[in-house]
Structure 1
Amino acid sequence: MKKTGAALVRFALEQLGIRHTFGIPGVHTTELYDQLHSSEHITPILVTHEGGAAFMADAVSRTGAGIGTLLIVPAAGVTHAASGIGEAGIDGIPMLILCGGIHSESDHRYQLHEMDQHALLTPITKATWRIRCHEDVIPTLYRAYETAVSGEPGPVFVEIPYNIGNFLGEVERMPEWRGMPLARSPERKLIETAARELVAARQPGFFVGWGAMQARQALITLAEHLEAPVATTLQGLSAFPADHPLHTGMGMGEYAVPAATEVFAEVDCLLAVGTRFSEIPTGSYGVRPPPALIHVDINPAVFNANYPARHVIEGDAATVMPALLEEVMALKQAPANTGIHQRIAGHKAAYRQEWRSHDSKDRVNPVVFFDQLRRALKDDAIIVADDGNHTFLAAELMPIIGARTFLSPSDFNAMGYCVPAVIGARLANPDRQVVGIAGDGAFAMTAMELLTAAREELGVVVFVFNDGELSQIAQAQYLPYRRKTCTVLGKVDYGALARALGTAYVELTGNGEVADAIDRALELAADGKAVVVNVHIDYSKPTRFTKGVIKTNLGRMAPRDKVHIVGRALWRRIVS
């Protein structure tokens, strides 16, 4: 039978359950977009920038509503999307990237605009393909999908040459998607050894990342059975409910909140699940795990990369953790209440009181904001952060309850994530509340995507934490150097910007207005309005994360360099 490559792509995407694609049409993808226009299952979403498209696709995948899919033009479309692709790559988020390409019979030495797209994307994707003939379109897309979601997930890239995508070609059949193979069971002997280590420990503790998301219930039951405190990574904040009495917060070293710092100081056996122990989760590698480290991950390359483990278990946490729970319960009865719940609760309450006692003057105290936001949102509401000081305020002060309800960039540090991601999250989850929190610097990068939200009539709220500068880097400069450089953003009329983009606008200037402003914004969103809330935030109190990371980095400096920096800061304090 004769089919265009575009028709074959549409068939494969429908088989895979894709509901939205994100991108900007171009000459190389005209037939692809025409096919999607006729699809009853897939809606192509026009964006203002392919970087925003990638963040939207990333959010679709993170919420568990299918695989986020890009449909972009070659060359500039690829380079624009690369930041979002890189974020998904380093965070282990599946993404399907479809891209037009030059005629398949052209000399491969001469890529579009002399750029080898595959060489560019190879370091930040799991695999790339260039379709060679019409017969390969559907099998390649199925193989790309399997690669993206199997093992440690990640982005994959498929280039569809112009003549294959737009012109007719011969295919014998159009095979249906048959689903993914079953996950491999973990090695029993490794499970038994790890279980004995946990049972023998005086005080076990858990450190869980995004890879533990599918094992949430088994983790809760195992933690309760062992009376084990649980800390999470930034990305894994929603892998364990913050309202559980064993939850301590993000991180577990000096960069963490007091509940985690104090309780984990006594942990003699650490079970780490679904984390690489990378820079942000470890507070710039400031954490010191105990020698009895049990590391569970689907990617064996992470074992012993940053911290030596006594026991490693390769496998999906969704299969490993139930098996480990069963073995532990067979070896040990649940302990009597050790008092750890009360200690954790006491530390948490004291830390929030410390924030409430901070004088924010005429600006919004972060803990007041997050207290009211948590009150106003449902437990399954999706909260999207960007990259910046607000990220760590949210991590420390915003209790995350439901699974997959906190989305944030991580070690790739891709600013501009929030606004596009709330759009992707809302499209994928139309019946759930979706709110974003972005610093004013991050908001400036992708605010134009609110055009997309307004056009699609998406009821989302973006809270802009506005202090007029790049606060996270400003604090990182000022605390050790007593000086800020290149951080002032200037004043923005957010009301005028909101009106220009077709969104509603709410101003929030002080603590007394917080509850009413949040309620008003959520009411507008419930009516299908995209809303910008200008939050005059107080950033004068640094987070534990910021202070801990600066201390860690100063601590690893050579004495000469440390004396130089500290001495210069002291001099500036004296003369200022």
Structure 2
Amino acid sequence: MEAVNRRHWISAFSAVSAAASGILAQAPKAQAGDFLVDVRGTIRRHGVQGRMTGAQAIVGALECMGTTSVFGIPGAQNNELWDAFKAANLSYLLVSHEFSCSVMADAAARVTGWPGVYSVIPGPGITNAMSGMGEALLDSVPIVGIVTDVDTRPDSPIGQVHSLPNVHILQTVNKAVFVAEHVSQLPGLVYQAFHTAISGEPGPVAVVVPYFMMTDAFDFDDAPPPLPAVPWDEGAYAQAMSLLANRKNRIGIYAGIGCQDSSGELTAVAELLQAPVATSVSGKGSIPESHPLSVGWGYGAYGTKTAERRFREVDVVLAVGVKYSEVSTANYAVPDHPCLIHVDANPNNIGRNVKTAVGVNADARVFLQRLLADGATVARQKDDKLMRTIAKERQADHAEYHSAQVREAVDPMLFLTELNAAIGPDAMAFIDVTAATHWAAESFVVAGPRRYFAPANNQSMGWAVPASIGAQFVQPGRLTTCVTGDGCFLMSGMELSTAARTGLPVKFFILDDGAYHYMQMLQEPVYRRTTATEIASINHGAFAAAMGLAYNEITHNSDIGAGILRALCTPGPVLTKICVSYDGRDIRWLSALRKKYLNGLERDDKVRMARRVVRRTIEIRKEND
């Protein structure tokens, strides 16, 4: 058996159509320290064979597809499956809430490049896990759910526990849902789920199994079929190359999550074209951000200042593996482009949110590899002046990040920059949905792919807590940090008990200001007051003690460095409270969002809003909240 991951398979299947065993024999082995090809398990060439129960067949199929970990909570309808996990020595992690199991599967996929797996019961198991499924769907992350259902046969009784329309519910937050009608279908459905999850634009897939099939027995003989070929449009590629080959055109590259497994190719293409590279939030690390052509995230007024400046001088934007989503563009505040080439594995994303000159339906890595193969026709001379300019502007950006602009409490941006420096280049950083999210995207210098993670498009508050735990579970040898807010922590803080129970040494940092400050920033300029944003004061030290975690506090800027080291040097999971203030430092993303919103209003709406602002500014303000 040889270790494989999604990208090895895609590379092989894009070149040939062969039997699964032949493809596996060609797959290169992972190298130590190479997180791009970190593999969670092996593929069994022989598949699921012999007489066994449905539960055993599911476990066999999961193992065939390289699964080494499952997240979830057992229940009456899936106890048989969990017992089969244990019998097969398939590693599992019991979570505190089903929201966490789908998020942990998501995190496992983001850090390894291969679908994470979760298992839940029908009814509340599904509804609790929906936010995590939705995040995976909108963020293009492959996960596979093994979901049991009630008895749905025509003569089944009514009033069964958890008998919601479970399949229909799942269809709202999944790329595809496969429903078993006979026990014999189970291995094939699991294989199909994995194939669907990673094909085209990745996403979540659910396999629904009525609970009685778990104990049904059958004589199985099912081997995993070859994966489908990746998309490729030769004609569109030729059009794109004609634009890139014109050396009068200055090129800029915008890379998204679709480039996470193509870091080497992306970097080589940037050097070939002498093109500045900006990324989406999910694309951070696709090119090492210390590279002389990296300009940081975004390229409008919402991203880094360097990216905004350098892309003003670009004639052609080459956007690869990115869909220009609302959050990554501050409400679609994308600068106008003279010309844009949009490359994406999902044809429905191409040109949807931005005007596109050429749309190429292709896998990011295949496109970049082909471009490199044809490099002689597009190559530019080395642009030392461009790289000196980028270096000077990036230095100015980081000087601003490192300056303390908040003094009455901890400056969140200063904390983030010092945390980034302290954890080293190969650590994993999980950033939650807080007011500091966009500061982290600006200030974190990410050394490579699959190191920086945030819930980009569903914006599930509390996501980073279970995500960091799930990532630590599948990659126990890597330093794992979680930056969350006090409001986010209320959503998923109980999951710290899982880290404590298992000894997973995640370092949790809570940015605490006693409010949903993100909402305050959105409400105050428009309404001149805030509503329902102040939250309860939590004794985080007592909470950490109750959960079984070490506790730490950082209360002022002068203690940031030492406080971070205290957390990192303490064995096991650690909860650190950072007493922050968000007043005094601008968030570029938020400023761009407000400008885009106001510019999009009709004249009457602007007048009405202005009158309200003026009236409430001169009135004696009532107590907020």
TM range (shorter): over 0.9
State the shift of 1:389 in Å.
1.2
State the shift of 1:192 in Å.
3.1
Q: In structure 2, which of residues 354, 363, 370 is the aligned counterpart of residue 316 of structure 1?
A: 363
How many Å separate the matches in 2 of 1:480 and 1:401? 39
User: Superposed, which structure 2 residues align to 1:242-321 within 5 Å?
Assistant: 242-321=289-368
How many Å separate the matches in 2 of 1:132 and 1:332? 53
- Aligned residue pairs, count: 568
State the shift of 1:452 in Å.
0.7
What amino acid maps onto 2:380 in structure 1?
Answer: A
What amino acid maps onto 1:7 in structure 2?
Answer: Q
Q: In structure 2, which of residues 246, 271, 286 is the aligned counterpart of residue 224 of structure 1?
A: 271
| Gap change, CA 1:461 and 1:511, over 3 Å in 2 | same
The answer as to 2:69 corresponding to 1:20 is yes
What amino acid maps onto 1:484 in structure 2?
Answer: T
- Map Cα deviations across residues 185-230 of structure 1 (whole Å, 9 max, x no partner): x344433321221232432111111011122212111212222111
State the shift of 1:15 in Å.
1.4
Q: In structure 2, which of residues 456, 466, 483 is the aligned counterpart of residue 420 of structure 1?
A: 466
The answer as to 2:221 corresponding to 1:177 is no
State the shift of 1:517 in Å.
1.2
How many Å separate the matches in 2 of 1:254 and 1:421? 30
Q: In structure 1, which of residues 331, 334, 344 is the aligned counterpart of residue 390 of structure 2?
A: 344
Question: Does the 8 A contact of 1:256 with 1:548 survive in 2?
Answer: no
What amino acid maps onto 1:77 in structure 2?
Answer: G
2:24 corresponds in structure 1 to: none
Q: In structure 1, which of residues 491, 494, 497 is the aligned counterpart of residue 537 of structure 2?
A: 491
1:50 corresponds in structure 2 to: 98
The answer as to 2:253 corresponding to 1:206 is yes
State the shift of 1:575 in Å.
4.7
What amino acid maps onto 2:440 in structure 1?
Answer: A
How many Å separate the matches in 2 of 1:482 and 1:421? 36
- Map Cα deviations across residues 312-358 of structure 1 (whole Å, 9 max, x no partner): 1111101111112332x212443242522232233333333334445
Q: In structure 2, which of residues 524, 539, 551 is the aligned counterpart of residue 505 of structure 1?
A: 551
% identity of equivalent residues: 33
Please provide the CA RMSD for this pair. Answer: 1.9
What amino acid maps onto 1:137 in structure 2?
Answer: L
Range 419-428 or range 153-162, more displaced: 153-162
The answer as to 2:82 corresponding to 1:33 is yes
User: Superposed, which structure 2 residues align to 1:94-113 within 5 Å?
Assistant: 94-103=142-151, 105-107=153-155, 113=162
What amino acid maps onto 2:589 in structure 1?
Answer: F
User: Superposed, which structure 2 residues align to 1:333-372 within 5 Å?
Assistant: 333-337=379-383, 339-372=385-418
State the shift of 1:307 in Å.
1.6
What amino acid maps onto 1:120 in structure 2?
Answer: I
Range 373-382 or range 333-342, more displaced: 333-342
The answer as to 2:190 corresponding to 1:141 is yes
3-state DSSP of counterpart to 1:124 = coil
- Structure 1: runs of 5 or more not aligned: none
State the shift of 1:179 in Å.
5.2
- Map Cα deviations across residues 499-558 of structure 1 (whole Å, 9 max, x no partner): 11111111011111111111111112xx3x111110112311231001111111111111
The answer as to 2:203 corresponding to 1:159 is no
Range 566-575 or range 278-287, more displaced: 566-575
2:575 corresponds in structure 1 to: 532
4+ aligned runs moved over 6 Å, structure 1: none
| Gap change, CA 1:107 and 1:152, over 3 Å in 2 | farther
State the shift of 1:273 in Å.
0.6
2:605 corresponds in structure 1 to: 561
How many Å separate the matches in 2 of 1:210 and 1:258? 22
1:382 corresponds in structure 2 to: 428
User: Superposed, which structure 2 residues align to 1:435-450 within 5 Å?
Assistant: 435-450=481-496
Range 155-164 or range 476-485, more displaced: 476-485
How many Å separate the matches in 1 of 2:234 and 2:226? 27
- Structure 2: runs of 5 or more not aligned: 1-49, 621-625
Question: Does the 8 A contact of 1:191 with 1:323 survive in 2?
Answer: no
What amino acid maps onto 1:93 in structure 2?
Answer: V
Question: Does the 8 A contact of 1:104 with 1:163 survive in 2?
Answer: no
| Gap change, CA 1:253 and 1:65, over 3 Å in 2 | closer
How many Å separate the matches in 2 of 1:469 and 1:236? 30
State the shift of 1:266 in Å.
1.7
Question: Does the 8 A contact of 2:122 with 2:163 survive in 1?
Answer: no
State the TM-score, normalized to the length of structure 1: 0.94
| Gap change, CA 1:493 and 1:52, over 3 Å in 2 | same
The answer as to 2:184 corresponding to 1:126 is no
3-state DSSP of counterpart to 1:387 = coil
How many Å separate the matches in 2 of 1:348 and 1:279? 25
Q: In structure 1, which of residues 375, 391, 401 is the aligned counterpart of residue 447 of structure 2?
A: 401
What amino acid maps onto 1:229 in structure 2?
Answer: P
What amino acid maps onto 2:563 in structure 1?
Answer: A
1:545 corresponds in structure 2 to: 589
- Map Cα deviations across residues 9-62 of structure 1 (whole Å, 9 max, x no partner): 11111211211111111111111111111222x122111110011111100001
Question: Does the 8 A contact of 1:356 with 1:365 survive in 2?
Answer: no
2:18 corresponds in structure 1 to: none
2:53 corresponds in structure 1 to: 4
| Gap change, CA 1:179 and 1:512, over 3 Å in 2 | farther
Range 128-137 or range 336-345, more displaced: 336-345
| Gap change, CA 1:2 and 1:219, over 3 Å in 2 | closer
What amino acid maps onto 1:390 in structure 2?
Answer: A
2:515 corresponds in structure 1 to: 469
3-state DSSP of counterpart to 1:214 = coil
State the shift of 1:65 in Å.
5.3
3-state DSSP of counterpart to 1:115 = coil
What amino acid maps onto 1:16 in structure 2?
Answer: M
3-state DSSP of counterpart to 1:468 = coil
Question: Does the 8 A contact of 1:127 with 1:156 survive in 2?
Answer: yes
How many Å separate the matches in 1 of 2:311 and 2:322? 17
What amino acid maps onto 1:322 in structure 2?
Answer: Q
Question: Does the 8 A contact of 2:413 with 2:440 survive in 1?
Answer: no
3-state DSSP of counterpart to 1:313 = strand
What amino acid maps onto 2:302 in structure 1?
Answer: Y
Question: Does the 8 A contact of 2:455 with 2:463 survive in 1?
Answer: yes
What amino acid maps onto 2:273 in structure 1?
Answer: L
State the shift of 1:178 in Å.
5.2
How many Å separate the matches in 2 of 1:413 and 1:545? 15
Range 444-453 or range 558-567, more displaced: 558-567
